[in-house]
Amino acid sequence: MSQMALTLEGLAVDFSGFRAVDGVSLAVEQGELRVLLGANGAGKTTLMDLISGKTRSTEGRVLIHGRDVTNQREHKIAQAGVGRKFQIPSVFSGLTVQQNLEVAQSAKPSVFDNLRFGLGAQERTRLAEVLALIGLEGEADLEAGYLSHGQTQWLELGMLMIQNASVILLDEPTAGMTQAETAKTAEIINRLKGRHTLLVVEHDMAFVRDIAERITVLHLGRVLAEGSVAFIEGHPEVKAAYLGKQGISECSN
């Protein structure tokens, strides 16, 4: 039996009578990449907020590898293995790419203590591996402030990876990217399959087709449909609620 990395059981949140997420149940296997689709207001980002602890739920449970983390503080949920990447990246612009990864890798709370502490052989090997995975080996000594938008996004993804987050939440990871950057992001994310469990919110349907294994569609805070790209593409209720007549294979935004 497959181990579930992320399980949601009847998760809901009520904002003064408005149920932004309304009884969502979801099970994501360890190493799986799951895409969340839905129109604006469907509850995708709110669901991410509930999982990561940014928003407190009013009903239901969140389990990480079987451990109940419902409504725990954000840092406690992070310690349980959840890492989240927002649309706007957050890196140390005055530090190099490698130094950013070193800071993320170390458990020390001070940035400068992290840099003075140094890395052991195992940490250096892991850092080199992550640099290769995100395609920034050539920019290791470049200050992060000089990176392109796409490179900055990849660096932040690398910072989550090097923290060994077992469940990574990605909120529109290709927002603002060029076509080439989007294609490279798909390559990077595909390399992470099996290494990390990923839950991805994305609107770019071409990108979704490049990465998706299984899709969950939200509508008005509830799960409308779940399945493969082909299943979702042919689902009449999904077409009516979100994708339109052209379907997922032709929808670009």
Q: Which domains occur in the chain, in start order?
A: 4-81+165-243 (3.40.50.300)
Contacts of 184 (CB under 8 A, 6+ apart): 135, 150, 154
- Tens of each residue's pLDDT in the chain, 253 residues: 468 999 999 999 999 989 999 999 999 999 999 999 988 889 999 999 999 999 999 999 999 999 999 999 999 999 999 999 876 667 899 999 999 999 888 755 444 554 545 667 788 889 999 999 999 999 999 999 999 999 999 999 999 889 888 999 999 999 889 999 999 999 999 998 888 999 999 888 889 999 998 999 999 999 999 999 989 988 888 888 765 544 554 444 3
- Is the pTM higher than 0.85? The answer reads yes
Place of tokens 């992001």: 185
Partners of 215 in the β-ladder: 35, 227
Residue 26: closest CA among 1, 57, 60, 58: 60
Angle formed by the axes of helices 179-192 and 121-133, to 10°?
130
Q: Which residue in the block uniquely carries the two structure tokens 């407190």? A: 56
CB-based contacts of 210-213 (< 8 A; 24+ apart in sequence): 210/183, 210/186, 211/33, 211/35, 211/186, 212/33, 212/35, 213/32, 213/33, 213/34
Task: Considering only CA atoms, give the Rg of the chain.
Answer: 18
- C-alpha 108/C-alpha 111 separation (Å) is 8
Question: What is the rounded CA–CA span in Å between residue 103 and residue 162?
Answer: 10
Q: Yes or no: say if 51 and 8 are a contact pair by the CB < 8 Å rule.
A: yes
- For the sheet containing 67-68, what is the strand order? 18-29, 4-15, 59-64, 67-68
